[in-house]
Amino acid sequence: MQYSIGQVAEKLAISTYTLRYYDREGLLPFVDRNQSGRRVFKDADFNYLETISCLKEAGLPVKQIASFIKLCLDGDRTLADRYDFLTEQESDLEAKMATLQHSLDFLRWKKWYYKRALQAGTETVNYTPGTTETDPELKAKFDQLVADGADPQELGKIDQ
């Protein structure tokens, strides 16, 4: 089956502008053109388009994605290169996810901290008595609640 750029855009929930941009940047060398010069997509192209979308969502620059697509089109002689490329991207994504998870964990801890302050009507409830410093045991208490099975997202919610 053949698809127009509009049909592909609709099917992938992206704009035709994005597809044209991808083409200009060398991401779509597999796309044929008809006699009028219009792009004609085939069913087989959707695998490449899904790969492009995934790599784009992972934060890869367009030039790197174009290089990977070229490797794909170069056939079996580039299998090891493609595998190595994806292994490197996997490691990079895992590192980004770990960083994001750390940030999310910290934000949830601080929501719980401020929930306690709101409930008490003062932030001093979280301080070491007689100081303006956060009680170091407070974070340990939060961590223990989570370790005991409490949902950290729920801990920070304020009942309305």
Per-residue pLDDT tens digits for 26-46? 999 999 999 999 999 999 999
Question: Does a structural domain hold residue 84?
Answer: no
Q: Specify whether 16 is located in the same domain as 65.
A: yes
Residue 27 Ramachandran class (φ > 0 left, ψ -120 to 50 alpha, else beta): alpha
Domain that holds residue 37: 2-73
Q: Specify whether 12 is located in the same domain as 67.
A: yes
Given this model, what pLDDT does residue 40 score? Answer: 97
Domain total for the chain?
Answer: 2
**Global pTM?**
0.78
Question: Does a structural domain hold residue 81?
Answer: no
Q: Check whether 114 has a pLDDT greater than 90.
A: yes
Question: Does a structural domain hold residue 59?
Answer: yes
Q: Check whether 82 has a pLDDT greater than 80.
A: yes
Mean pLDDT computed over 99-103: 97
Q: Predicted confidence band at 160 (pLDDT cuts at 50, 70, 90)?
A: low
